[in-house]
Each structure stands twice: as structure tokens, then as C-alpha cells.
């Protein structure tokens, strides 16, 4: 019974990711906690690897299209991956199944979902993406942050958030990149966000796996549903009202965030 339900959950999240590009962690983790009663630490660990595998395909696709600015990815990763390592060390020291740690996870997850809801709504209000190409001579300037330390600091914040909640590398990451790299076209920002999320979620997911916080059979079932879901969602992406879907999704994420904070 649960096997089929996990496949359908993965399929649903895959469709939403394909339609909107919003990170699967924003939906999958609260679904696992609320609908399947999965412990927060197990939901976070499993979803991190779920996100890594689902975003890997997106990275290959955008890299082949020449949309990934690897300089931006490197700067963010320099802050996020060490922060993920420190966070995992703290979780190992305290114990991920500890009641206080799980309460911290659910509360932080609630805040992360509220931030994601706000970022998703902002993207819906902003509208369609900018042109793909950067003006000749502007490449260096467009891929340079307002200050060299900002990608490291924001990367560290996202790395900590992702390791604790599995949420943050999607809509929040895109919003941060829009602030740090205002001259970078939105499609390139989205591509960079997807690319740097892969090593981050892989590192964080592997760390959680070493702590015993990954349900491998459940992960396989979720991926079995999500991969065809992403293909179907991306196929219909241009045929559905994106702003309406993003608006409804932001309301759903905000509701889930408030409910988690109230736990």
C-alpha cells in the first residue's frame, strides 16, 4: 500500500518540479512528515539524496546548453559545502534522532518553507525570464558578486539550511543569486542554482546516510515516481499558467511552514 503511495508522491513532486523548477525538497520533506509520518531526520536525509538525483539530470541538460556559469557555482560551493560538513558534524555529535534536534529540524524547516513560499511568489510576480545571453564585454562583471565575501556567507547559510531541512537550494537559492548577481540573466541564475545544488545535496545526503538517516527502499520508490513526473511536467511547462501554479504553490508552502513551526 505504502509502496504505491510513495511512487505517487514522487510522481506528484516530479510534475511540480518539471512545471515550476521549484526544488523538490520544499514539497517532499513536508509530504513525508505529514502524510507518511516519517521522522523529520529520516525525511530530511532521504530527501537530500532524492534532490541530488533529480537535479543531476537538470544540471547535465543546462550544462550542455552552455547556461551554467561555473565561476558562480564554485563561489557558492566554497561557502555551502564546508558549512554542510560542520552542520553534519554537529548532528552526529548531538544525534539526529534526539528530540531537541528533531524539534530544531521541524522549526527550521518551517522557516525555510516560509522563505521558499515568499521567494516562489516573488518569482511568480516577476514574470518570464530575461534573455539568455550576456552583453559582449559584460561576462566578467555579470559573474562577479557585489562583494567577494557575500557568496561565501550566503553559501554557508544555504549549506546549513539544506543540511538541517533539505530545503533552501531551490527558490531561496535563486533569490539569493538574483541579489548577488543582478546582471546575470535569470535562466543562467536558475542553471547555476541547479548545478551547485547537486554537490551540496550529495554531500549532505551522504553525511545523513552515514548517520543512518536515509531510507533506501523509500528513496528508490520516490525516484521511480519522480523521474517520469519531471519529464511530464517539463513537457507541459509551456502550456500551463505558470504564475497561477507558482502562486498556489507559495500558499501551500506557507501553510506547511506555519504548521511545522506550530508543532
DSSP type of residue 146: S
Q: What is the pLDDT of residue 174?
A: 78
* Residue 214 pLDDT > 80: yes
- 238 pLDDT band, cuts 50/70/90, is low
CB 125 within 8 A of CB 242: no
Candidate ranges 64-73, 128-137, 199-208, 223-232; pick with highest mean pLDDT = 199-208
Residue 34 CB partners (closer than 8 Å, separation 6+):
256, 259
Q: What is the pLDDT of residue 89?
A: 94
CB 222 within 8 A of CB 5: no
- Taking only the tens place, the pLDDT of each residue in 122-179 is 766 765 445 455 555 566 666 777 777 888 999 999 999 899 888 877 777 877 888 8
CA nearest to 34, candidates 226, 208, 263: 263
Residue 153 CB partners (closer than 8 Å, separation 6+):
79
Q: What is the pLDDT of residue 229?
A: 83
CA nearest to 122, candidates 253, 263, 256: 253
Total count of residues recorded for the chain: 263
Q: HSE of 171 in the Cβ direction (CA atoms, 13 Å)?
A: 25
Cell of residue 203, nine digits: 554531500
Q: What is the pLDDT of residue 133?
A: 55
- Taking only the tens place, the pLDDT of each residue in 77-118 is 999 999 999 999 999 998 888 888 888 888 888 888 888 888
For the ranges 113-127, 184-198, 208-222, the lowest mean pLDDT is seen at 113-127
Torsion of CA 164, 169, 174, 180, to 10 degrees: 70
Q: In the predicted model, what is the mean pLDDT of the chain? A: 81
* Residue 34 pLDDT > 70: yes
Q: What is the pLDDT of residue 28?
A: 87
Cell of residue 258, nine digits: 506555519
Alpha carbons 120 and 167: distance in angstroms, whole number: 13
- 199 pLDDT band, cuts 50/70/90, is very high
Alpha carbons 44 and 25: distance in angstroms, whole number: 8
| Predicted TM-score of the model (pTM) | 0.82
CA nearest to 230, candidates 17, 28, 7: 17
Alpha carbons 111 and 115: distance in angstroms, whole number: 6
CB 197 within 8 A of CB 51: yes
Residue 238 CB partners (closer than 8 Å, separation 6+):
none
Amino acid at each position: 500500500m505504502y509502496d504505491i503511495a510513495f511512487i505517487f508522491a514522487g510522481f506528484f513532486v516530479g510534475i511540480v518540479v518539471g512545471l515550476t523548477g521549484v526544488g523538490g525538497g520544499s514539497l517532499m520533506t513536508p509530504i513525508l512528515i505529514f502524510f507518511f509520518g516519517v521522522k523529520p531526520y529520516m525525511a530530511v536525509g532521504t530527501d537530500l539524496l532524492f534532490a541530488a538525483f533529480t537535479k543531476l539530470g537538470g544540471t547535465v541538460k543546462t550544462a550542455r546548453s552552455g547556461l551554467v556559469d561555473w565561476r558562480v557555482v564554485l563561489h557558492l560551493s566554497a561557502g555551502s559545502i564546508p558549512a554542510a560538513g560542520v552542520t553534519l558534524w554537529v548532528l552526529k555529535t548531538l544525534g539526529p534522532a534526539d528530540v531537541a534536534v528533531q524539534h530544531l529540524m521541524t522549526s527550521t524547516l518551517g522557516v525555510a518553507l516560509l522563505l521558499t513560499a515568499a521567494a516562489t511568489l516573488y518569482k511568480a510576480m516577476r514574470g518570464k525570464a530575461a534573455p539568455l545571453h550576456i552583453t559582449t564585454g559584460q561576462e566578467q562583471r555579470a559573474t562577479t558578486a557585489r562583494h567577494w565575501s557575500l557568496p561565501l556567507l550566503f553559501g554557508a547559510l544555504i549549506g546549513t539550511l539544506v543540511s538541517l531541512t533539505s530545503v533552501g537550494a531551490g527558490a531561496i537559492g535563486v533569490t539569493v543569486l538574483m541579489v548577488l548577481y543582478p546582471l546575470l540573466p535569470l535562466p543562467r541564475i536558475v542553471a547555476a542554482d541547479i548545478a551547485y545544488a547537486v554537490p551540496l545535496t550529495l554531500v549532505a545526503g551522504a553525511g545523513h546516510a552515514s548517520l543512518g538517516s536515509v531510507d533506501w527502499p523509500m528513496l528508490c520508490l520516490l525516484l521511480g515516481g519522480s523521474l517520469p513526473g519531471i519529464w511530464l511536467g517539463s513537457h507541459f511547462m509551456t502550456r500551463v499558467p505558470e504564475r497561477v501554479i507558482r502562486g498556489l504553490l507559495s500558499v501551500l508552502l506557507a501553510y506547511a511552514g506555519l504548521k511545522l513551526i506550530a508543532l
